[in-house]
Amino acid sequence: ATAALAGCGSSGSGNDRPTLGFSQVGAESGWRTANTRSIQESAKTAGINLKFADAQQKQENQIKAIRTFIQQHVDVIAFSPVVESGWDTVLKEAKDAKIPVLLTDRAVDSKDTSLYETFLGSDFVTEGHKAGQWVADQYKGSNETVNIAVLEGTTGSAPAIDRKKGFADIIGTDPKFKIVASQDGDFTRAKGKEVMQAYLASKQRIDVLFAHNDDMALGAIQAIEEAGLKPGKDIKILSIDGVHDALQAEVDGKENYVVECNPLLGPQLMDLVGKVKAGQPIEKRIVTEETTFTPEQAKAALPDRKY
Ligand code: AHR
């Protein structure tokens, strides 16, 4: 598959409006759709020419899109890297072309941090800690074994690596917590459902399901219902993101806890584009502020939830 490239406005020089080349991961989740909309709308508001490329969750498509942006001499390149590794060569090409690069949402593992200006996004390890802490609190005072199944995000992606680590940091301190299944659900509803069906078919008792994002939890909820079980009751469910459908699932009693990951990065990103274009200094790491939702908090938040 080739990356879809959609431009609006003119490229590079010859226009005072800065041109931003943005390579998006794909459209795998409700979170991602909200993130794309935030970037497109805030570019328009800020008067930034946006060249938007959807990588369809393939690193090769992102590399191709970044090379196209370099050839087009855009003013700034931003991207949300599908996986953490393998970016040094293309980032060096951007640096040699003197085009500043901004990382949004996900990090790269490049040792040479001069290859990018900043990383704007969530602290995924903290999100994993919040999820682990909720599980620990639910079973405080009990000595019984708690079987936990995990639906992991895309293998090699920063949120999958960091959320797994953060969760393990907390539940790993008590031997009563046992991870009985942990597989890649690729951050999608369809894969979350498919992997959950396999977990249920194994007949392993599952007390808690931790999904690295809401969409996989929502797919798993379907699988659990189709297996004749009650999600949220027979199996406690928690996930990360905070999209409308997951908050609704909490209100409906099908999900028990949601850790927020904020997708609305567009306004901050456009502000950073303006600053690097003007040669102003920016912070090397900008962390997004986030909350958590119990079912009661989900009910209160739902009427104003935009995504
Ligand atoms: O990188 C952020 C993660 O990617 C979100 O949790 C998930 O929904 C998305 O696909």
Q: What is the pLDDT along the chain (307 residues), one digit of tens a residue?
A: 334 444 433 344 445 899 999 999 999 999 999 999 999 999 999 999 999 999 999 999 999 999 999 999 999 999 999 999 999 999 999 999 999 999 999 999 999 999 999 999 999 999 999 999 999 999 999 999 999 999 999 999 999 999 999 999 999 999 999 999 999 999 999 999 999 999 999 999 999 999 999 999 999 999 999 999 999 999 999 999 999 999 999 999 999 999 999 999 999 999 999 999 999 999 999 999 999 999 999 999 999 999 9
Contact 163/128 with Cβ under 8 angstroms?
yes
Determine the straight-line distance between the first and last CA of the chain, rounded to whole angstroms.
28
**Ligand 1 center from residue 149 Cα (angstroms):** 19
User: Which atom from ligand 1 is nearest to the alpha carbon of 158?
Assistant: 1
Rounded distance between C-alpha atoms, residue 30 and residue 41, angstroms = 17
Residue 186 Cα to ligand 1 middle (Å): 10
The reply to whether ligand 1 has any atom less than 6 angstroms from the CB of 152 is no
Give distance in angstroms: CA of 213 to centre of ligand 1.
6
32 lines ligand 1 (CB under 6 A): yes
158 Cα: distance to centroid of ligand 1 (angstroms): 9
Task: Specify the pLDDT at position 7.
Answer: 43
Distance 237 CA to ligand 1 centre (A): 18
Query: Which of 38, 126, 187, 264 is the best mutation target for the ligand 1 pocket, counting ligand atoms within 8 Å of the beta carbon and taking the most?
Result: 187
Work out whether strand 208-211 and strand 236-241 pair parallel, antiparallel, or are unpaired.
parallel
Q: For the stretch 140-150, what's the b/e string if a residue is b when 16 or more beta carbons lie within 10 angstroms of its beta carbon?
A: eeeeeebebbb
Burial class (CB in 10 A: 0-12, 13-18, 19+), 36: buried
Question: What pLDDT is recorded for position 100?
Answer: 98
- The CB of 186 under 6 Å from ligand 1? The reply is no
User: Does 106 sit in the ligand 1 pocket, CB within 6 Å?
Assistant: yes
Q: Which atom of ligand 1 is nearest to the CA of 243?
A: 8
User: Which segments within 28-144 are labelled E, that is strand?
Assistant: 49-54, 76-79, 101-104, 118-121
Predicted complex ipTM: 0.99
The answer to whether the CB of 255 falls within 8 A of the CB of 221 is yes
How many angstroms does the Cα of residue 293 sit away from the middle of ligand 1?
17
Please tell me if the CB atom of residue 241 comes closer than 6 angstroms to any atom of ligand 1. Answer: yes
Model pLDDT, residue 3: 41
pLDDT value at residue 16 = 82
214-226 helix and 30-46 helix, angle to the nearest 10 degrees:
150
Residue 124: CB within 6 Å of ligand 1?
no
Ligand 1, atom 6, lies closest to the CA of 213
- Rounded to the nearest whole angstrom, what is the distance from the C-alpha of residue 196 to the centroid of ligand 1? 19
